[in-house]
Amino acid sequence: ERGGKTLLSWPTDPDDPALTAAAEALAASARAGSLGTVTVERLNGVAALTSPLARPLEAAGFLATPRGLRLRA
């Protein structure tokens, strides 16, 4: 998808260590300047702000905005 607004995850348990590692890697890439600002609007087809899968992203530093979860580079 253009703009990377949607994330798909096969582990669906928000406490799965693989999700934590993936969220931390995404945040590290954004902070390193590889991705610029990242705003995730949907997680597995659900609005990011209401998805239980938002927890690992928030723990990695993503912040809630009206559009979704955002991490600035």
What was the pLDDT predicted at 55?
94
| Tens of each residue's pLDDT in the chain, 73 residues | 556 688 888 888 889 999 999 999 999 988 898 888 889 999 999 999 999 999 999 999 999 999 999 998 7
Both tokens of 5, joined, read 């607004």
What was the pLDDT predicted at 3?
62
**pTM across the whole model:** 0.86
